[in-house]
């Protein structure tokens, strides 16, 4: 069965620290991968997506992710976090766009 797993449930960082959130998937064949962000009390917003091509994907708000097929990974990175990045981050995967399977989320708290 297809699945998406996120390594950390909670991450606490100070402002200006670098961020890397882990995501692994267990799909065979072609997979489409996404990172979503959910700010407190809000709905999910798309940060970035990977379908094919360049494995380094750049998204909004300075986030990027790297698709490493050999490791079945799609880790999210940001060189320098801000207090406003405090949110929950979800990795998701799918095939054929009809449905997405989500990881359980990583809650990021950035202290000023």
Partner 1 sequence: NAGVTQTPKFQVLKTGQSMTLQCAQDMNHEYMSWYRQDPGMGLRLIHYSVGAGITDQGEVPNGYNVSRSTTEDFPLRLLSAAPSQTSVYFCASSSAGGRNGYTFGSGTRLTVV
Contacts of 17 (CB under 8 A, 6+ apart): 80, 81, 110
Tell the smallest beta-carbon distance from residue 34 to partner 1 (Å).
5
99: contact with partner 1 by CB under 8 A = yes
d(CA 7, CA 53): 25
CA-based nearest residue to 24, from 70, 78, 55: 70
Among 16, 46, 60, 109, binds partner 1 (CB under 8 A): 46
Number of residues that bind partner 1 (CB under 8 A): 24
104: contact with partner 1 by CB under 8 A = yes
d(CA 64, CA 20): 10
32: contact with partner 1 by CB under 8 A = yes
Q: Is 71 helix (H, G, I), strand (E, B) or coil?
A: helix
Among 51, 71, 80, 83, binds partner 1 (CB under 8 A): 51
For binding to partner 1 (CB under 8 A), which residues are involved?
9, 32, 34, 36, 42-46, 49, 51, 90, 92, 94, 96-105
């Amino acid at each position: 069965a297809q699945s998406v797993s996120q390594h950390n449930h909670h991450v606490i960082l100070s402002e200006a620290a670098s961020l890397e959130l882990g995501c692994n998937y267990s799909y065979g064949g072609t997979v489409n991968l996404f990172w979503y962000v959910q700010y407190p009390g809000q709905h999910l917003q798309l940060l970035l997506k990977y379908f094919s091509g360049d494995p380094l994907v750049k998204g909004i708000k300075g986030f990027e992710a790297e698709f490493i097929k050999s490791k079945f990974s799609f880790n999210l990175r940001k060189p320098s976090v801000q207090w406003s990045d405090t949110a929950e981050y979800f990795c998701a995967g799918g095939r054929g766009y009809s449905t997405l399977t989500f990881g359980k989320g990583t809650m990021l708290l950035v202290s000023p």
